[in-house]
Chains A and B, each alone.
Chain A
Amino acid sequence: MPFDFSRNYFDLFSLAADFNIDRSILSEQYQILQGQHHPDKFVQSDDAQRRVAVQITAHLNQAHDTLKDEHARARYLLSLRGVSFDKEQDTTKDMDFLMAQMELREQIDEVTNDDEGLEQLDKLAREARQQKNDLIQRYQELLLENQLEEAKELVLKLQFFGRLQSQISTKQEQLEDQFL
């Protein structure tokens, strides 16, 4: 049976198209599908079959990565409902939010090079996590009410937190390397 690349990711892993997913089902179904299609199972096959195996498993990985990550999942759910995202132009126009983000970033940059700095980073990470959770909470409500444009606005905001988190990690690594 040929693999259907057009199936939606939730369907692919036997999940309902909802923001709340059972992660154990996701991981179990992912492993079952990988087990069936992984290139390791096609080492003895011809070139074409091996290429197909790479394509299918790359697709499975893409689907799995999308559903695993909250921001990507939220965005994907909206795209299933016909909301489109333009990478270049789409960004939030909420000035207060943008200012708050700028401030958080400055705080990360200004963290001091000592134990206290690490604590400050932990605190900032917790703060960011809390704000992100609030956004996700609100996103789910909007999704239920089918307020898609408003939900999209939240997804655009959510993507800032991914960058924030990686900025915090990078800074943590810098500090820790110095202590070593």
Chain B
Amino acid sequence: MALMQISEPGMSTAPHQHRLAAGIDLGTTNSLVATVRNGLAEPLADQTGSVILPSVVHFAEQDKVLVGELAQALALSDPLNTIASAKRVLGRSSEELAAQKNYLPFELEAGHNSVPRIRTRAGGKTAIEVSAKILQSLRQRAEETLGGELSGVVITVPAYFDDSQRQATKDAATLAGLNVFRLLNEPTAAAIAYGLDQAAEGVVVVYDLGGGTFDVSILKLRRGVFEVLATGGDSALGGDDFDQAIAQWVIQELKLSADLDPRMMRQLMLQARTAKECLSDLDEVEISITAAGDVALSCTLTRTQFDQLTQSLVKKSLVACRRALRDADITQDDVSEVVLVGGSTRVLAVRNAIEDFFQRQAQADIDPDQVVAVGAAIQADLLAGNKPGDELLLLDVIPLSLGLETMGGLVEKVVDRNTTIPVTRAQEFTTYKDGQTAMRVHVLQGERELVSDCRSLANFDLTAIPPMVAGAAKIRVTFQIDADGLLSVAAEEVNSGVRAQIEVKPSYGLSDNEIEKMLTDSIEYAQSDIKARSLREQQVEADRVLEALDTALAKDGAELLKPDEIGVIQQYRQELADARAQAEDVDVIVAAIKALESASEEYVARRMNRSVQSMMQGHKIDEFNN
């Protein structure tokens, strides 16, 4: 690219290429994408100017898929094909969801081993696929706004997400064609947004109550080092539960039958959410719904009633706060700041309870809905290498203990919760029978003692163990948790050096084959996007070329070029400007760029000569010889 080389004397001839990077907050209710532009981290808006993308996907006829507001608008008319809150299902098993008995705004298909599929007219969709659609939409928004392909993204996850939920998030990103620099814990992202903004020092508590998840993290901030001391929470507690509590109350109050049809239920949940939001400003709110036969029903909910309904939810979150303080080995007095994250912290009862508990005013200077995406964008920009020399060190932890099943259905902990990651731990096992050549290792995550109370992450079969007398074989199993909080396992028989073959059977999540199949499917879908994207890319390239030329001409055009030479260049410049403005054909823009470049070749050469001369002025030839 010739015009790229029009650089000023003394400037680096190979300027650092700015890599496009973005931070993505993939939320239960809403999702956002943010990026750092001109040193400022900000969320990116869609064409209508809205930065928030409702995490809703609608599967329409003929394989058409709608995401965001457009999908949301169909929630009532086509509730069963409009998928919201898919994050609640992400990385979870059918059995687990059945046990939770929480209202889910969609139907799950039976079967499919343990990965639940959401029933839609386009077939059974996993939460991974639904999340991938949301990520794809955000990716498109970012690439259109920034005019180029993203080199990578940072995606935030609840700190309390376990291994399978994290893996599922990463799978969704792969499916959406994104390169994931890092999975970042949501509260840590918020701390980055606050910490870098205000150069904070000390102990910061981040209380993050989102649509479907609750996290609390305690961080120590010191000179650009963000050290997570402890994290805790509940990956199934969020604003949705507040809506749920209101909905249940309405059902009782209006004596509705408990099993409402999906449309009524969806309507009720939407009304409940609106009521919740109103009660942050008003003392009471009227809830009205249209029942079967167009019968209008209504009731009034006061804030006091609402506070009572949700009291146990708020308490649940405070128990987690207390535990996190204990794990961090500090008390409320050591805390220098409390930061609120997530839309649900707008609920007054929540805010009051936090301020009571920590005995200080909580901060919400940065929009609680945007702060996570903003922090992720800052991290993404750093990881992309756009700020060399900027020191930021994140030391995060594993949220839940990792253990192995031992005799009698008990769990032996291998890595304790709140251990700084990355972490590697080796554990030795032995055979209990003569000639035993195989054994099963069951990896679990959780704090409880019984296998049945923890989450099963994976079963490994160690085979090809050399036959020996009982107790003679020493099998060392090594667990590694990387910076994303993801687990990998290796095993080896120590005496013989035989690396036992491991067959990993993820207890939840999809196999690589399934992911691959989905990828092939999505590539076909993506073909249609490519044209639109490359047009946008060339427009941006045209803008850049035009700007570089104008700057150069203004600087030394009159000195280095004769008037007729300037005229020729200006003519080609106009042609490119026209092609760019019409924005119809990629090829026309590309051709116009090429034409302008060859027309200004001589000019570029003269500029280069001049900058070399001015660089050498005042220097001896010798200096350039070594």
In the docked arrangement, what's the CA distance between A64 and B428, Å? 22
Contacting pair B393 A180 (CB below 8 A): no
Chain A neighbourhood of B385, CB < 8 A: 43-44
- Which of B319, B393, B423, B424 meets A31, CB within 8 Å? B393
Contacting pair A35 B391 (CB below 8 A): yes
Contacting pair B480 A180 (CB below 8 A): no
Question: Does B421 belong to the interface (CB within 8 Å)?
Answer: yes
B223 — nearest CB in chain A belongs to which residue? A31
Question: Does B145 belong to the interface (CB within 8 Å)?
Answer: no
In the docked arrangement, what's the CA distance between A40 and B422, Å? 11
In the docked arrangement, what's the CA distance between A125 and B318, Å? 24
What 1/0 flags go to A42-86 for Cβ under 8 Å of B? 011000000000110111011011000000000000000000000
- Which of B182, B315, B424 meets A40, CB within 8 Å? B182
Chain A neighbourhood of B442, CB < 8 A: none
What 1/0 flags go to A93-127 for Cβ under 8 Å of B? 00000000000000000000000000000000000
In the docked arrangement, what's the CA distance between A62 and B478, Å? 14
Contacting pair A39 B318 (CB below 8 A): no
Known contacts A34-B395, A39-B482, A169-B326; A64/B424 CB under 8 A: no
Chain B neighbourhood of A31, CB < 8 A: 225, 393
Question: Does B91 belong to the interface (CB within 8 Å)?
Answer: no
Contacting pair B423 A61 (CB below 8 A): yes
Contacting pair B326 A173 (CB below 8 A): yes
Main SS of the interface on chain A? helix
Known contacts A38-B393, A61-B419, A173-B326; A54/B319 CB under 8 A: no
Question: Does B533 belong to the interface (CB within 8 Å)?
Answer: no
In the assembled complex, how far is the CB of residue B19 from the closest CB belonging to chain A, in whole angstroms? 8
Known contacts A173-B326, A176-B322; A40/B394 CB under 8 A: yes
Chain A neighbourhood of B323, CB < 8 A: 173
Question: Does A22 belong to the interface (CB within 8 Å)?
Answer: no
In the docked arrangement, what's the CA distance between A62 and B424, Å? 8
Question: Does A11 belong to the interface (CB within 8 Å)?
Answer: no
Contacting pair B393 A54 (CB below 8 A): no
Contacting pair B393 A58 (CB below 8 A): no
Q: How large is the interface on A (under 10, 10 to 19, 20 to 34, 35 or more residues)?
A: 20 to 34
Within 8 A of A (CB), among B271-325: 315, 318-319, 322-323
In the docked arrangement, what's the CA distance between A43 and B386, Å? 12
Question: Does A177 belong to the interface (CB within 8 Å)?
Answer: yes
Chain B neighbourhood of A177, CB < 8 A: 319
In the assembled complex, how far is the CB of residue B423 from the closest CB belonging to chain A, in whole angstroms? 5
In the assembled complex, how far is the CB of residue B247 from the closest CB belonging to chain A, in whole angstroms? 25
In the assembled complex, how far is the CB of residue A145 from the closest CB belonging to chain B, in whole angstroms? 33
- Which of A43, A65, A176 meets B419, CB within 8 Å? A65
- Which of B326, B428, B483 meets A39, CB within 8 Å? B483
B327 — nearest CB in chain A belongs to which residue? A169
- Which of A43, A61, A87 meets B422, CB within 8 Å? A61
Question: Does B342 belong to the interface (CB within 8 Å)?
Answer: no
Question: Does B383 belong to the interface (CB within 8 Å)?
Answer: yes
Chain A neighbourhood of B482, CB < 8 A: 39, 54
Within 8 A of B (CB), among A126-149: none
Contacting pair A34 B393 (CB below 8 A): yes
What 1/0 flags go to B364-393 for Cβ under 8 Å of A? 000000000000000000111100000101
Question: Does B420 belong to the interface (CB within 8 Å)?
Answer: yes
In the assembled complex, how far is the CB of residue A76 from the closest CB belonging to chain B, in whole angstroms? 15
Contacting pair B395 A40 (CB below 8 A): no
- Which of A43, A59, A64, A65 meets B182, CB within 8 Å? A43
Contacting pair B152 A58 (CB below 8 A): no
In the docked arrangement, what's the CA distance between A58 and B382, Å? 22
- Which of A58, A87, A180 meets B424, CB within 8 Å? A58
Known contacts A43-B383, A54-B480; A180/B315 CB under 8 A: yes
Known contacts A35-B393, A43-B181, A43-B383; A54/B315 CB under 8 A: no
Chain B neighbourhood of A40, CB < 8 A: 182, 382-383, 393-394, 483
In the docked arrangement, what's the CA distance between A64 and B395, Å? 13
In the docked arrangement, what's the CA distance between A94 and B423, Å? 35
Chain B neighbourhood of A172, CB < 8 A: 326
Contacting pair B424 A55 (CB below 8 A): yes
In the docked arrangement, what's the CA distance between A38 and B482, Å? 11
Contacting pair A43 B225 (CB below 8 A): no
In the docked arrangement, what's the CA distance between A98 and B513, Å? 54
In the assembled complex, how far is the CB of residue B226 from the closest CB belonging to chain A, in whole angstroms? 11
Contacting pair B483 A54 (CB below 8 A): yes
In the docked arrangement, what's the CA distance between A58 and B444, Å? 20
Chain B neighbourhood of A58, CB < 8 A: 422-424, 480
Chain A neighbourhood of B483, CB < 8 A: 38-40, 54, 57
Interface residues, chain B, with chain A CB atoms under 8 Å away: 152, 181-182, 225, 315, 318-319, 322-323, 326, 382-385, 391, 393-395, 419-424, 428, 480, 482-483
Interface residues, chain A, with chain B CB atoms under 8 Å away: 31, 34-35, 38-40, 43-44, 54-55, 57-59, 61-62, 64-65, 87, 169, 172-173, 176-177, 180
20 A-B Cβ contacts within 8 A?
Answer: A31-B225, A34-B395, A35-B393, A38-B394, A40-B383, A40-B483, A43-B383, A43-B384, A54-B480, A54-B482, A55-B424, A57-B483, A58-B480, A59-B424, A61-B420, A62-B424, A64-B420, A65-B419, A172-B326, A180-B315
Which 4 pairs between the two chains have the least Cβ-Cβ distance? A58-B424, A39-B483, A58-B422, A43-B383
Beyond the given A54-B422, A176-B322, please list 11 additional residue pairs across the A-B interface where CB-CB is below 8 A.
Answer: A34-B393, A34-B395, A35-B391, A38-B393, A39-B483, A40-B393, A57-B483, A61-B423, A64-B420, A172-B326, A173-B322
